[in-house]
Amino acid sequence: MAKITSVSPLAPASFPELPVIGGVRFASAAAGVRYAGRTDVMLALLDPGSTMAGVFTRSATRSANVLDCQAKIGADSEAGAAIIVNSGNSNAFTGKAGDGSVAAICAAVAGATGLPETRVFTSSTGVIGERLPHDRITSKVGELVAALDPGKGAEAARAIMTTDTFPKGAGATVSLPGGAVKIAGFAKGSGMIAPDMATMLVYLFTDARISRTDLQALVSGINARTFNCITVDSDTSTSDTLLMGATGASGVDVTAEDTAFAEALEGVFLDLAHQVVKDGEGATKFVTVNVTGAASDADARTHALAIANSPLVKTAVAGEDPNWGRVVMAVGKSGAPADRDTLTIRFGDVLVAENGWVAPSYREEDGAALMKAPEITIGVDIGLGEGKATVWTCDLTHGYISINADYRS
């Protein structure tokens, strides 16, 4: 796997101080899954009475871990839950051996925690197509259980990194009529990012008391507006997993209709989603693509993703070139309805093109100056209707090639 030698220039100054969530504890360890001495396994243990929800990749080649989680996530239980994650090896495209690895890890965690195996959720991330040396993980389960601590979320976030240049965390505390509720989460992701469900690996926790069906409704809906609206390279992972646990430790009841809780949760989701894009492999620019005026919201999303995923658009952004012609190209090839003569294009607040041609007021130096910023907004109005969508992406630099050309070496 390519050695990461520098932190993304878009990285936050530091890992945030996450609120401690009652009813969940964390631990991490170095199991040597791929590299000796590297912290590469994390365990989260949720107390009895916790509810779980999740969303997963719809890839046709999804991993054994994803398939196992999908089979378990819809069940109700009062037994609590465990999440165990390794980095370095994705346990994907490993045939029946992959299923055996999941079973062995679940059995080890269940034996050490007293949980039923149906309440153990696993994730693996890293190289595809190599058998997971799961014995290295199972041998660490006892050590992990002994080290569990409510304040070790930051260490858990670091344990799941692969080509990430920084750990990603976000949290919130929201005041509700019944009292304060806390939310915290962490994610990993840097490349192979074009979620078709959720994204990469994401784990969120709250001390709210909420039913599984309400938690699932919130997770699915918010995910569609956040993680499913980011892209680094247009490639959907075999391992994309988002799991959320609600421990109920606060004693505060929440439903899917509680606006304040939903807004706070969406803020945490969006913060993590943006951090993933800002850590895009080789990224130097964070790009927001706003599409309005499409025939429908679905068409707007299609246009926005065509722009965000275009290598020509992304390399122009990397080169700080305000090349609106590439945006026009991306809209035209998207497959969604568009009309050359109704398009309006803006870079930030600079009007670039309108009525089928460059805007009379546009000056190249204005566009070039705007493209030097680390965060850029591309706005496109299709001029056909009321549909709108926002997608977040990054530029495409030689750093992406350097990382992925020798990913397995």
Q: What is the mean pLDDT of residues 288-309?
A: 97
SS3 350: strand
pLDDT of the residue at 5: 61
Read off the tokens for 84: 């165990």
pLDDT of the residue at 71: 97
Amino acid present at 250: S
Provide the 8-state DSSP code for 268: H
Instruction: For residue range 308-343, list pLDDT tens digits in order.
Output: 999 999 999 999 999 999 999 999 999 999 999 999
pLDDT of the residue at 238: 83
173, containing H or E segment: strand 168-176
Q: Which residue has the tokens 């360890």?
A: 29
Q: What is the mean pLDDT of residues 251-271?
A: 98
pLDDT of the residue at 4: 54
SS3 177: coil
Other beta carbons within 10 Å of 220: 16
DSSP secondary structure string for all residues of 198-233: S-SEEEEEE--B--HHHHHHHHHHHHHHTGGGB-SS
pLDDT of the residue at 196: 67
Average pLDDT, the chain: 94
Q: What is the mean pLDDT of residues 281-291?
A: 95
pLDDT of the residue at 1: 44
76 half-sphere exposure, CB direction, 13 A CA radius: 6
CA proximity to 88, closest of 164, 15, 153, 180? 164
CA proximity to 121, closest of 161, 60, 162, 77? 77
Q: How many residues does the chain have?
A: 409
Q: Which residue has the tokens 């969303």?
A: 55
Using the predicted structure, report yes or no on whether residue 198 has a pLDDT greater than 80: no
pLDDT of the residue at 221: 96
SS3 21: coil
Who wins on pLDDT, 196 or 403? 403
C-alpha distances out from residue 332 to 310, 337, 382, Å: 12, 8, 11
| CA dihedral of 223, 228, 229, 234, whole degrees rounded to 10 | 160
25-34, 93-102, 186-195: segment of lowest average pLDDT: 186-195
Using the predicted structure, report yes or no on whether residue 408 has a pLDDT greater than 90: no
Can you count the helices (H) and strands (E) in the chain?
Answer: 12, 15
Instruction: For residue range 387-401, list pLDDT tens digits in order.
Output: 999 999 999 999 888
Provide Rg for the chain, Cα atoms: 22
Q: How confident is the model at residue 2 (pLDDT cuts 50, 70, 90)?
A: very low
The C-alpha atoms of residue 74 and residue 216 are separated, in whole angstroms, by 9
Other beta carbons within 10 Å of 250: 21
Q: How confident is the model at residue 232 (pLDDT cuts 50, 70, 90)?
A: confident
pTM: 0.95
Question: Catalytic residue positions?
Answer: 199
| Category of 324 on φ-ψ map: left (φ > 0), alpha (ψ -120 to 50) or beta | alpha
Helix 297-309 × helix 324-333 angle, to 10° = 130
Who wins on pLDDT, 192 or 87? 87
Using the predicted structure, report yes or no on whether residue 290 has a pLDDT greater than 80: yes
CA proximity to 240, closest of 304, 194, 297, 185? 194
Who wins on pLDDT, 94 or 200? 94
Provide the 8-state DSSP code for 50: -
Other beta carbons within 10 Å of 367: 20
Q: What is the mean pLDDT of residues 47-51?
A: 98
Who wins on pLDDT, 189 or 328? 328
pLDDT of the residue at 404: 79
The C-alpha atoms of residue 329 and residue 344 are separated, in whole angstroms, by 13
Q: Which residues pair with 29 in a beta bridge?
A: 41
